[in-house]
Amino acid sequence: MRRSLVVLLLLVAGCESTAPPAAQEPPAKLAFAQQGRGATVPFVEYEAESADFTGKRIGPDRTAKTLAGEASGRMAVTLSKGDSLTFTLVQPANAVTVRYSVPDGTEGVLKVNDTELKLTAKYAWYYGGFPFSNDPSKGSPHHFYDHVRGLLGQTVAAGGKVTLSCECTIDLADFEMAPAALEKPEGSTSIVDFGADPTGAKDSSDAIQQALSTGDAWIPAGTFKVTRHLIANRTKLRGAGGWHSTLTGAGVGVYGDHSQGVHLSGFAIIGEVTERDDHAQVNGIGGALGGGSVVENLFIQHTKVGLWLDGPFSGLTVRNNRIFDTTADGLNLHQGISETVVEHNVIRNTGDDGLAMWSDQNANHHNTFRFNTVQLPLLANGIGIYGGHDNTVEANIIADILIEGAGVQVANRFSGTVPLSATTVLKDNTVLRGGSKFAGIQADVGAFFLFGKDSAITGAITLSGNSTMDSSFSGLHLYGSSMSQVTVERLTVQAPGTVGIQVQSMGAATVTKSRVEGGVYLCKDALPFTLTVADSTGLDTPACEGI
Ligand code: CA
């Protein structure tokens, strides 16, 4: 778990310091970092604003639809011609991924030591109201950032320096040791044997589909053009690693069709989606993939949703993936999905919820989102659970919520969705800078948000060991017509923007063994609610003010 601690350390340190992290400096924020939360990752994340730089630091500023407001830590660094930014690495690296922004309609070059990476505004800059457009005349620009990644051609040692220059804004950079390309596994069949073209010139869709019929297809190092859904069922599709084997093109995706026993591993899926069209099936992974299927070690970028999975099915594991720069959710388990585990994924810069379970017409149940790191959904929540039963959200780290969302939202929401029943568990999650304004209900949403929007929440919601720090508004927020089986244990709320716990619902909750700063907002005369508190601090005198 050490690396997940480093990530969190840098996330937290980013708000408070302009000094670069010293090489091998021991983590100084362990009290909040809380061992064992978030994804275990092969990289260390560095905030630009914590590096040495010329140019201009922007932020901290949480104003929606601003460059600083959309940045990790709500700060970034704008470099002009002649400026540079230098990171001092705490671990060796030969590869980098940078979150950046360039003005709309432009391209640019980012120099990283001697490596040049191409920048583009193509996947950023949305305008107008939901679901947004690329038309500047609609006004209200947002979604300013994108990621670029590349191999450095050398290994920079721990303590070594990496200098970036560009005419752009840099938010953060992930540095890592990209592994060498994996060898072709024994017994697998290379897609090249079926005519796939590793130069990316020729469309390889048909060749890869044919290779999948062998049941064990191999993607060697190379860039393969794919322009439609590849359908996988009872097959492996493995690559030489996310830095080496890439499927890319307009419409690229790997889909299940009532599929079972699919194993996807070790490649990148890079789409060309520049708008949100909810009728277009342009997701990285889609369809139904159950029966012990595994999706792991993928890098998914520039698709509509990273993984949009349609039930009913049971039994999928999604682990160790990076899902960046989508126009809608990072991952959505859509109706009737069960016994599915989503773990150790990093989800960043999504156009909607980072991770969602939407029960819609058929309850999702017995699924778990655990040990994921979700940052910067550009709309909505880090994690959203809409209806269903017996689902668990555990040990995730969620940071920087921007508009109309919480760190974690549990809701009866979206017309006709099967309501929450039995028990939903939120355990040991950490939310940093969570919560946001929410125009739909004219309220400022808390870091953890229980939302009885369409109907009273009659299912139980159990929260234990959750923490929130520096939320934009409240720490824990109960909102809606009624909820009566809410149990909160060992909740920590540090430095909330408004109150510690905000109650705008009828019903009842018990809170035990909790440390809550900011007090409780509760207007009993308007909404009868019974809050039972034991063995806690900061919850003595609920008041009808503070928000
Ligand atoms: Ca930043």
Residue 420 is predicted with a pLDDT of 98
Lookup: tokens for 475: 């720490």
What is the rounded distance in angstroms from the CA atom of residue 41 to the CA atom of residue 83? Answer: 30
What is the rounded distance in angstroms from the CA atom of residue 26 to the CA atom of residue 515? Answer: 27
Residue numbers of the chain with a pLDDT score lower than 50: 1-33
Kindly give the distance from the C-alpha atom of residue 49 to the centroid of ligand 1, in angstroms, as a whole number: 6
313 secondary structure, DSSP code: E
Q: Is the peptide bond before 60 cis (omega within 30 degrees of 0)?
A: yes
Kindly give the distance from the C-alpha atom of residue 431 to the centroid of ligand 1, in angstroms, as a whole number: 16
Q: Per residue in 447-465, pLDDT tens? A: 999 999 999 999 999 999 9
Kindly give the distance from the C-alpha atom of residue 148 to the centroid of ligand 1, in angstroms, as a whole number: 15
Residue 217 is predicted with a pLDDT of 98
Kindly give the distance from the C-alpha atom of residue 433 to the centroid of ligand 1, in angstroms, as a whole number: 13
Kindly give the distance from the C-alpha atom of residue 376 to the centroid of ligand 1, in angstroms, as a whole number: 11
Between strands 222-225 and 236-239, the pairing is unpaired
Kindly give the distance from the C-alpha atom of residue 50 to the centroid of ligand 1, in angstroms, as a whole number: 8
Residue 250 is predicted with a pLDDT of 97
Cβ-based neighbours of 409, under 8 Å, separated by 6 or more = 380, 381, 383, 384, 385, 445, 449, 450, 451
Helix (H, G, I), strand (E, B) or coil at 117: strand
Kindly give the distance from the C-alpha atom of residue 320 to the centroid of ligand 1, in angstroms, as a whole number: 23
157 secondary structure, DSSP code: P
CATH superfamily of 3-176: Galactose-binding domain-like (2.60.120.260)
Kindly give the distance from the C-alpha atom of residue 344 to the centroid of ligand 1, in angstroms, as a whole number: 22
Kindly give the distance from the C-alpha atom of residue 284 to the centroid of ligand 1, in angstroms, as a whole number: 27
- Domain ranges within the chain, ordered by starting residue: 3-176
Kindly give the distance from the C-alpha atom of residue 42 to the centroid of ligand 1, in angstroms, as a whole number: 20
Full-model pTM? 0.94
- The CA distances from residue 91 to 4, 8, 98, in Å, are 13, 15, 17
Kindly give the distance from the C-alpha atom of residue 74 to the centroid of ligand 1, in angstroms, as a whole number: 6
Kindly give the distance from the C-alpha atom of residue 509 to the centroid of ligand 1, in angstroms, as a whole number: 37
Residue closest to 293 by CA, chosen among 304, 305, 309: 309
Type of residue numbered 269: I
Give the helix/strand (H/E) hosting 449.
strand 448-452
Q: Contact 417/454 with Cβ under 8 angstroms?
A: yes
Kindly give the distance from the C-alpha atom of residue 164 to the centroid of ligand 1, in angstroms, as a whole number: 15
Residue closest to 37 by CA, chosen among 11, 4, 13: 4
Residue 34 is predicted with a pLDDT of 59
Kindly give the distance from the C-alpha atom of residue 8 to the centroid of ligand 1, in angstroms, as a whole number: 13
* Residue whose structure tokens are 């995730």: 396
Phi, psi of 158 (to 5 degrees): -60, 135
